[in-house]
Chain A
Amino acid sequence: MIITPIKDGIVLDHIKAGNAMEIYNILNLGELECSVAIIKNADSVKMGKKDVLKIDKMIDIDLNILAFIDAGITVNIIKDGKLLKRRHLELPEIVKNVLKCKNPRCITSTEQELQHIFKLTDKENRIYRCIYCETKAKINKKR
């Protein structure tokens, strides 16, 4: 399978195998008019299998959301066909409106206008809790 290199854009590398579509959807990449390649189950020396997303355009990506979904992702910025910058992600302290609190006793369950905000409470174990009721976030079943 041949996917041509991109000239100006972003490559999201080292995505955990199976997570590419989730990231594609959360970053709303389906709304872009440029080429977006989703590579699933690519061979990886480091990970065994990995997913890769190639976006053929320089766009603003919410790195906090990306880190929250998968902090192992590497973000490569490509300019004139060359690697301009490589970023490793850090877990964000706060995540807004990515997850919904599932606790039926939480105030967010009855007040629809409230933002769903989660705070990192345990970095080592990647635990996020709802700022209102402190219920632990269920991040991703695959993880």
Chain B
Amino acid sequence: MKNLISITDLDVKEIEELIILADKIMKNPVAYSQKCQGKKLATLFFEPSTRTRLSFEAAMYELGGNVIGFSESNSSSAAKGESVADTVKVISYYADIIAMRHPKEGAPLVGAMSASVPIINAGDGGHNHPTQTLTDLFTIYREKGGFDNLTIGLCGDLKFGRTVHSLILALARYKNVKFILISPWELTIPDYIKHEVLKKYNIEYVETSDLVSVMNALDILYMTRVQRERFFNEADYIRLKDSYVLTPNKLENAKKDLSILHPLPRVNEISVEIDRDSRACYFKQAQNGKYIRMALILKLLEVE
């Protein structure tokens, strides 16, 4: 593993190794607190992000390393018209590893082609966000102990939600995984995910617009936000928006060991009352994100 551009760059074994390492770090962070001493992470954020950037920076500091970088393109040479390839080539001389977010799809791959140090894709537009997927996988692993035989409900904006697409790609490789895809018809999963992943690998899936009717079947409920701007007309949005807001009454038939995930930030799609429910895992998920990024940095720098 030299770079992480897409979750599909990692095979099942590599994902397992990262998860096991993240778990070890979580249990004994002191043992890893000096592993990256003398190393620098460059966070090249060509568009603003709060949690992903801070999570990467916290991860590097907790490994004893340092962080350099910028948090928006205006404060970088991109504002002067420098290409991604040139920026990354230069930063390769200053840092040992790069985490890069860019509004254009494929920019981190371009960076990886010219970099001499490992590149981590920290989100490229609506395309890939592999460290979010690793975070989701690590959370599922911690809650369920593995990935086989799970029924996973994905709810909300399944059309534009990149985290959902990557999660399906990652989970499709495990045994007897079943997906329940819950969304308004305007925001159903793209055809290419159905044809090139679900149907191609004979993965059982159901599409529905009714969250409550499938609740009792779910082991995992992965919520995403239904955004107003995705609808063609306001009336449809108003009609549907509350159907995809998780409230305590919708959980009445849910399993006792259901795990509720959300990539965050949340707006109103999960009622704050759910935060007190032991099945709510989304804040733990954000915490897990730091540990899996620590594991990833260690693996890419080969300093375990």
| B64 proximal to A (CB < 8 A) | no
Say yes or no: A108-B196 contact (C-beta < 8 A), given A113-B83, A134-B127.
no
- The chain B residue sitting closest to A109, CB to CB, is B104
Say yes or no: A133-B83 contact (C-beta < 8 A), given A105-B125, A107-B110, A121-B196.
no
| B105 proximal to A (CB < 8 A) | yes
Interface residues of B (CB under 8 A from A): 83-85, 102-107, 109-110, 124-127, 192, 196
| A110 proximal to B (CB < 8 A) | yes
Say yes or no: A132-B196 contact (C-beta < 8 A), given A105-B126, A109-B104.
no
Residue numbers in A under 8 Å from B83 (CB-CB): 111, 113
| A35 proximal to B (CB < 8 A) | no
Query: Quick check: A131 and B106 within 8 Å, CB to CB?
Result: yes
| A62 proximal to B (CB < 8 A) | no
User: Would you mind naming 23 contact pairs between A and B with Cβ atoms under 8 Å apart?
Assistant: A103-B105, A105-B103, A105-B125, A105-B126, A107-B102, A107-B104, A107-B106, A107-B109, A109-B104, A111-B110, A114-B110, A121-B196, A122-B196, A127-B196, A131-B106, A131-B109, A132-B105, A132-B106, A133-B105, A133-B106, A134-B105, A134-B127, A136-B192
Residue numbers in B under 8 Å from A105 (CB-CB): 103-105, 125-127
Chain A: how many interface residues by the 8 Å CB criterion? 19
Residue numbers in B under 8 Å from A111 (CB-CB): 83-85, 110
- The chain A residue sitting closest to B111, CB to CB, is A107
Tell me, in angstroms, the Cα distance from A108 to B196 when the chains sit together: 24
Besides A106-B104, A136-B192, 15 other A-B contacts (C-beta < 8 A): A105-B103, A105-B105, A105-B126, A106-B106, A107-B106, A108-B106, A110-B104, A111-B83, A111-B84, A111-B110, A113-B85, A114-B110, A122-B196, A130-B106, A133-B106
Tell me, in angstroms, the Cα distance from A132 to B127 when the chains sit together: 9
Residue numbers in A under 8 Å from B107 (CB-CB): 107, 132
Tell me, in angstroms, the Cα distance from A131 to B124 when the chains sit together: 13
Min distance, Cβ A116 to any Cβ of chain B, angstroms: 11
Tell me, in angstroms, the Cα distance from A103 to B103 when the chains sit together: 13
Q: Could you say which of B84, B126, B192 contacts A107, with CB atoms under 8 Å apart?
A: B84
- The chain A residue sitting closest to B104, CB to CB, is A107
Residue numbers in B under 8 Å from A131 (CB-CB): 106, 109
A79-121 toward B: CB 8 Å interface, digit per residue (1/0)?
0000000000000000000000001011111110110000001
Min distance, Cβ B190 to any Cβ of chain A, angstroms: 11
Residue numbers in B under 8 Å from A122 (CB-CB): 196
- The chain B residue sitting closest to A124, CB to CB, is B200
Tell me, in angstroms, the Cα distance from A27 to B168 when the chains sit together: 41
Which 4 A-B pairs rank lowest in CB-CB distance, beginning with the nearest? A132-B106, A133-B105, A107-B104, A107-B106
A17-59 toward B: CB 8 Å interface, digit per residue (1/0)?
0000000000000000000000000000000000000000000
Min distance, Cβ A138 to any Cβ of chain B, angstroms: 14
